[in-house]
A = this chain, B = another copy of it.
Amino acid sequence: MTSPGLASPAEQLGRLVKETQAVLHQRMDEALRPLGLSVAQYACLQTLSASPGATGSELARRVFVTRQAMNVMVQGLERQGMLERSDVPGPRRERETVLTPAGRTALDGAGAAVRRVVDTMTGDLADEDVAQLLALLGRCRDALAAGS
């Protein structure tokens, strides 16, 4: 330790990112559980809505889980009628996945619940503050992701 008694701003930021994500995940879980959805399932449906026809591996990358975990999650959502996978695999053995109307309905309801959570998160901030927060944190994420 160079021990300035306190951690460096960068270290504080690392811890703060983790804390914020943890509390956000917890609040989202509380909001989504009554709807019968886990946070991971919501992330899957949300990503699928933004990128219709995505493959399982593509979904896995965007949700930050392994493709194996995404596979079982997709199977579960398929059993619940939330999404459908093309029965005939594509060129690379991939199966295009799309939301069903039921999945769209569930996502809409979940999206409203999630919006209430993220709005409380940014409730104390002005619009310009949120914009700057997005810009700054985005640069941090990009800097970390740049190191391949």
Mark A residues whose CB is within 8 Å of B: 1, 8-14, 16-25, 27-28, 43, 64, 108, 111, 114-115, 117-125, 127, 129-134, 136-145, 147
Contact = CB atoms under 8 A, between A and B. Distances in A.
6 contacts: A9-B122, A10-B119, A10-B121, A11-B115, A17-B17, A133-B136
B133 A121 contact: no
A139 to B, nearest CB: 5
Given A11-B115, A18-B25, 4 more contacts: A8-B118, A16-B141, A124-B143, A132-B136
B13 A118 contact: yes
A14 B124 contact: no
Most buried by B among A20, A28, A142: A20
Nearest to A47: B15
Contacts of A137: 13, 16-17, 20, 133, 137
Contacts of A28: 14
A13 B143 contact: no
B138 A120 contact: no
